[in-house]
Structure 1
Amino acid sequence: MSTESGPERARRWRLVLGGAAEEALGSADGRDGAMDAALAALYDAGRAGDPGTGSKRSAGLGGSAPKVARWLGDIREYFPSTVVQVMQSDAIERLDLTRLLLEPEMLAAVEPDVHLVGTLLSLNGVMPAKTKEAARQVVRQVVDELEKRITQKTLAAVSGALNRAARINRPRHADIDWDRTIRANLKHYQPEHRTVIPERLVGYGRRTTAVQRDVVLCVDQSGSMAASVVFSGVFAAVLASMRSLRTSLVVFDTAVVDLTEQLSDPVEVLFGTQLGGGTDINRAIAYSQQLITRPRDSVFVLISDLYEGGVREQMLRRVAEMTAAGVQVVVLLALSDEGAPAYDHENAAALAALGVPAFACTPDAFPDLMAAAIERRDLKAFAERLQNTGS
């Protein structure tokens, strides 16, 4: 049961319903009035002809840069950052603010987030020189926050998987993993001696600085994949920092671009993408195949909504060839926090028939996914657990 008082409940409903409820619930004054005006400028914009909508509630943000800058400042003052990010995203979509984002003054007023970075990357080709430095600062801030969020977990998960994958069955005494050795030999337990007599020793391989796995991230940069492109670029940079991995990053639309050389700086990686355009997955996989020289020690991660504009049959055949050669193939419909994406169900089903499940993955779950891929665990089971836990 709600513990809100009658006046507080009425206040909240007044802010939710806007000016249409003014006659019944009264006017919003003071701070509530400012919040109401900020919401009205966005969500009631362009509704002057709607029944019951007064002129005060239909002006919107218009095309005035100073007015937009004030509005951006207002919403940052009155709402928490998570709400600000939603409102900014809605404003870009509903009020066509992309043109104004090309002004440095606008970028200084916004709340940086993944979606804003995606919008800026889509404008990269038309961005004037005076705006690019401000845009880079916004992207850098978001990248730094993402790196803090994902780096430690990614390094720990992947390093652990590589160590476990290096287990050997004839270890030196100092390299024996007694826990796994005992569990692997429980059937040889001797009750009279109250001990396990191991027939097979399980141990860790000696640590090495050699490259143990090749990882190829192949990322669809069509417009709908904006958030996935941002997260993929940052993850690729983190993986590339590990000496035990040889990491490549390939992005594609109808053309293919290899961004591996930029992986030392994820901001450069992101500005090397070009969001929008068509999709040729087959061409991207064909290029990626050339990068795979050790199939059984390679992980290929395709991140795409699978809407193929190229030759579908060849795309599926190439995936089948990689899996037959021993490549661990992972297909992600999205790498983002946005929930279930739209995707090509027919292509996803065709990949599943090849033993390659296609599923969405959150950034928080991606390190564990990479660990599972490196250890060649059942990715179908991983995907099912991911779906059941909602991670």
Structure 2
Amino acid sequence: MAMKIVIVGAGQAAASMAARLRAKGHDGEITLIGSEPVAPYQRPPLSKAYLLGQMGLDRLALRSPEWWVDQDITLRLGESAIAIDPIRRVVATDKGEVGYDALALTLGASARRLPAAMGGELPGVHVIRNLADVDAMARQMQGGRRLIVIGGGYIGLEAAAVARKLDLSVTVIEAAPRILGRVAAAETADMIRALHLSHGVEVLEGTGISRITGIDHATGVTLNDGRELPADLIVTGIGVLPETALAQTAGLTLDNGIATDVMGRTSDAAIWAAGDCASFPWQGGRLRLESVGNAIDMAEAVADNILGADTPYHPKPWFWSDQFDAKLQIAGLGTGHDRIVKRPGDGQHGGSVWYYRDNRLIAVDALNDARAYMIGKRLIEAGRSPDPDAIATTTDLKALLA
């Protein structure tokens, strides 16, 4: 009898894994269990085109309703998995039980929230993670209103950009010394800050908040220095946490997410994990990537390995962020860099930032500079590292590929 595969979590990784399993010839049962009432959809447009009203739910969908039927993939939507029994090989949900031969956890991550004692649960305080989050926020995104964004990471900055396009007054508050402190070099942050300032966003860095004010609804924030800023709505973009509770019930090993081996297998031989919730061996340590690219690539690798490929997963990190009419594209991981090379772009808001570690090119950030992104990505994937001075001075980046 063909293997029965159950995938818990119904996002990008789940959809990619299910499609890959069928493409690779698996003809057994495939079941997706997802707590949201809608079929797998794209997440990145939520804080951009969808929030702006430029993309409807039909265009968010990763696959048409007919595709799931044609591929004979069972969707159990609006159903929450609550426990795993690895002995019986059964997933318990709030609506029953589902047995499996192989189980894949593609649970994603959840948005960090400020504690209730700081006002983090007041009406009018929003996070951006799923369709329901954005639908609730979109109803309050009206021109002339005042938005405070807590957190100067990509999600918060994308929300700020959309709000300005909708003619809201926007203030971004970042507790760290600068925006994008955990994810990008100061040179990249400088470009993004300048972009936001040019569009009328107020950016407060090195500024903490003591609480969100209000009784029945958020009315603003009190800063650590005692200042009070009024607001009609608040978005918190202070990072995410990998979803690990279900894995914990099964006794799986956790390490910055659900720990897997290089194949994507967890500490239980019949259970696999992929996407934002999973960490995997990388360069002598463990890595967990929060990106569409990793969700797709790791899910497809895990699908292959469930079917017996036994091929280690080697990530090729890439990311992007759309803010106003600018596109930031990122190839590689800049963690641990010891040198930065910056190249100007063609326009007012653009350019590229090249990260080196031990004279090896490890990452490129490119704002409105698709050529620099593509060339940098190809160099990194080929393991090639041009002399940093050549990056800074050459007039023809493409020549570096020769």
> Structure 1 or 2: larger strand share?
2
Higher relative contact order (CA closer than 8 Å, sequence separation 6+): 2
Q: TM-score, normalised by structure 2?
A: 0.25
